[in-house]
């Protein structure tokens, strides 16, 4: 496996240390994660994704999907068989597993479906309105006049309140 050195990134970029830490942790996590069960990650549309996992031999009640912050965890616990079987060849691995996926910011799980031994998890990146590009209107040069009028109105109010305090005294 390749090792990446992120020190040049730390020298020239500010605020990207979180991204470098995520890449580093993903690299370490991928080395420790088993290859079972096989899965696909596909782009199904703009900002839409689908994870498809081959979970043949599992009932949907044995599969657990959990999202915690930006981590998606898919796990399954295979119930013990009541009847002992003697296999001449066992090619279907129906063992318990746990698979973790690191989600980017604003990626949310939309749905999960189990069909024909495949688990489909649909995800979508939903960018908040505050983070979307927006157009900033450009004001006219009459804006300073409004400030002058407000300052003049405040001065008139101050003079009126001084007159009222003199009358009250």
For residue 130, the model assigns a pLDDT of 82
For residue 73, the model assigns a pLDDT of 93
Regions of the chain with pLDDT less than 50: 1, 147, 163-169
C-alpha–C-alpha distance, residues 64 and 69, integer Å: 16
For residue 85, the model assigns a pLDDT of 82
Helix (H) or strand (E) holding 158: helix 143-168
| Number of C-beta neighbours around residue 50 at 10 A | 18
For residue 112, the model assigns a pLDDT of 95
Instruction: Find how far residue 13's CA is from the centre of its chain.
Output: 23
> 102, 26 in Cβ contact below 8 A?
yes
> 56, 117 in Cβ contact below 8 A?
yes
Strands (E), the chain: 39-45, 48-54, 63-68, 71-76, 97-102, 107-115, 118-125
For residue 167, the model assigns a pLDDT of 47
């Amino acid at each position: 496996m390749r090792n990446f050195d992120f020190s040049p990134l730390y020298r020239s970029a500010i605020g990207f240390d979180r991204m470098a830490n995520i890449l580093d942790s993903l690299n370490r996590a991928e080395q420790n994660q088993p290859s079972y069960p096989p899965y696909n990650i596909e782009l199904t549309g703009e900002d839409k994704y689908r994870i498809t996992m081959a979970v043949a031999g599992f009932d949907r009640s044995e599969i657990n999907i959990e999202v915690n912050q930006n981590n998606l965890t898919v796990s399954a616990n295979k119930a013990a068989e009541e009847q002992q079987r003697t296999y001449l060849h066992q090619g279907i691995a129906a063992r318990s597993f746990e698979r973790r996926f690191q989600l980017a910011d604003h990626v949310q799980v939309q749905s999960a479906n189990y069909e024909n031994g495949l688990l489909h998890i649909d995800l979508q990146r939903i960018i908040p309105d505050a983070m979307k590009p927006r157009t900033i209107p450009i004001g006219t040069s009459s804006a300073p006049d409004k400030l002058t009028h407000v300052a003049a109105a405040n001065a008139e109010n101050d003079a009126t309140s001084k007159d009222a305090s003199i009358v009250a005294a």
